[in-house]
């Protein structure tokens, strides 16, 4: 059985420098529109 002294977190590393792409802005924009549409649907019935 091997011992590991360091724990590697799964998923994205938030400290790793990463360049933002156009897809990031499109993804955030679509998410914002979807949330606003759901709120409008809930309020307006």
Whole-number Å distance between alpha carbons of 45 and 32:
20
Whole-number Å distance between alpha carbons of 43 and 45:
6
pLDDT for position 6: 65
Predicted confidence (pLDDT) per residue in 1-45, tens digit: 555 566 666 677 777 777 778 888 999 999 999 999 999 999 998
pLDDT for position 32: 97
CA neighbours closer than 13 Å in the CB half-sphere of residue 28:
5
Q: Could you give the dihedral angle defined by the CA atoms of residues 18, 21, 27 and 29, in that order, rounded to the nearest 10 degrees?
A: 110
pLDDT for position 27: 94
């Amino acid at each position: 059985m091997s011992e590991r002294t360091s724990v590697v977190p799964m998923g994205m590393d938030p400290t790793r420098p990463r360049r933002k792409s156009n897809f990031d802005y499109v993804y955030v924009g679509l998410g914002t529109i979807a949330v606003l549409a759901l709120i409008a649907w809930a309020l307006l019935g």
